[in-house]
Amino acid sequence: MEQVLKQFALEGTPASCAPYGEGHINLTFLVVTNTNRRYILQRLSRRAFADIPGLMGNVKSVTEFLAGQDPDPRSCLHLIPTLDGGCFFRDTDGEYWRVYDFVEDSICLQTPETREDFYQSAVAFGHFQRQLRDFPAETLCETIPDFHNTPDRFRKFRLAMEADAAGRLASVGPEVRFLLDREEEAGTLQRMRESGELPLRVTHNDTKLNNVMLDAAARTALCVIDLDTVMPGLVAYDFGDSVRFGASTAAEDEKDLSKVTFDLGLYETYANGFIPACGGLTAAEIESLPLGAKTMTLENGLRFLTDYLDGDHYYHIAYPQHNLDRCRTQLKLVADMEEKWSRMQEIIRGFLP
């Protein structure tokens, strides 16, 4: 790690470097220097991202664009350059590394502690969406092709079932049936994207609560992080992914499914923060938000199960059934959303002009 850190223009010399955070994709470390400066060092996932130089080009241009809109240095991520002026370092094993300034005096939550926290995260993601409205979308590389193309996620799921690489297919019959029963409806957003019924915007695409920072003292929206999947997409993806994670009454990997329900109050709270902060959404976009919630939840269930069948190569796991447990919470949430569907639509219709 020392060799890696030497490549970056840090203030002081690194005194410690330890694993940090709860991301599922990259390897993240907190670095503290002898002058007490803190940095985030990340080894990017080569499994998830095929074109890391392209991804880093996106991150660089998006962070520079955001910095140009808000003078507060804590309002967006800042990349630390390498000594030769690049924005990442490739080591002799072919691994890619980057360093960010640590966002100081901030908190990053795994679950909302109060309704207001969740509201503030919605404001942050909505504001992020609005800030990127004039970003030149055509300059972005697609860091994960077909990331939220749900029909294509089903295609990959079928390949995983056929291969059954980890020999687990026979043990997940109910989960497979649940998913396949909903395949047709799950393709609706993708069809609306292709028909142009829903406009493409520059979206974050991974709007979990732990991808946003709140100010530690004021507990207000500060900064959106984890920009690896910023790509053209639908607003429904960002709304949906946030509520599937933050409006659940339990953790994403809760084993006791009786604890996992979809909280309509939190859903409404998120809508209250997100929709006005985005501003200028079309009526069709607003109406697509409940479907975004259901689709993103089902899609995450599908992806967790795909990785479980593949033998757990994509997401970090802490124990062998981890991806299956994650899949089951998502399917439980989808079932609960189906029960609450008319109310979910009613709440969102209240935001129509």
| Contact flags string 47-86 toward ligand GN1, x per CB under 6 A | -x--------------------------------------
Q: How far is CA 124 from CA 76, 128, 247, in A?
A: 11, 6, 16
CA distance 263 to 250: 10
Q: How many CB atoms lie within 10 A of CB 28?
A: 16
Asked if residue 40 lies in contact with residue 99, where contact means CB atoms within 8 angstroms, the answer is: yes
Q: Measured from the CB of residue 21, what is the shortest distance to ligand ADP in angstroms?
A: 3
Q: Which is nearer to ligand ADP, 20 or 351 (CB)?
A: 20
Decide if residue 121 touches ligand GN1 (CB under 6 A): no
Q: Measured from the CB of residue 26, what is the shortest distance to ligand GN1 in angstroms?
A: 7
Asked if residue 189 lies in contact with residue 234, where contact means CB atoms within 8 angstroms, the answer is: yes
Q: Measured from the CB of residue 164, what is the shortest distance to ligand GN1 in angstroms?
A: 22
Stretch that binds Mg ion, among 81-89, 221-229, 256-264, 287-295 (CB under 5 A): 221-229
Decide if residue 306 touches ligand GN1 (CB under 6 A): no
Q: How far is CA 187 from CA 180, 194, 217, in A?
A: 12, 11, 42
Q: Measured from the CB of residue 240, what is the shortest distance to ligand ADP in angstroms?
A: 18
Q: Measured from the CB of residue 225, what is the shortest distance to ligand ADP in angstroms?
A: 5
**Positions that interact with ligand ADP (CB under 6 A):** 20-26, 28, 40, 77, 100, 102-103, 108, 210-211, 225-226, 228
Which of Mg ion, ligand GN1, ligand ADP, none interacts with 252 (beta carbon under 5 to 8 A by kind)?
ligand GN1
Q: Measured from the CB of residue 43, what is the shortest distance to ligand ADP in angstroms?
A: 10
Rule CB under 5 A: choose which of 211, 261, 272, 330 binds Mg ion.
211
CA distance 50 to 54: 9
Three state DSSP letters for 73-124: HHHCCCECCECCCCCCEECCCCCEEEEEECCCCEECCCCCCCHHHHHHHHHH
Q: What is the DSSP letter of 228?
A: G
Q: Measured from the CB of residue 211, what is the shortest distance to ligand ADP in angstroms?
A: 5
Q: Which residue is nearest to ligand GN1 (CB)?
A: 24
Decide if residue 226 touches Mg ion (CB under 5 A): yes
Nearest to 8 by CA among 95, 101, 75, 77: 101
Distance of CA 240 to the CA centre of its chain: 11
Q: How many CB atoms lie within 10 A of CB 127?
A: 21
Q: Which is nearer to ligand ADP, 32 or 257 (CB)?
A: 32
Decide if residue 242 touches ligand GN1 (CB under 6 A): no
**Cα radius of gyration (the chain):** 20
Q: Which is nearer to ligand GN1, 61 or 110 (CB)?
A: 110
Residue type, position 148, single letter: H
Binding site for Mg ion (CB under 5 A): 23, 211, 226
**Residue ranges in contact with ligand GN1 by CB under 6 A:** 23-25, 48, 206, 208, 211, 226, 228-229, 241, 252, 300
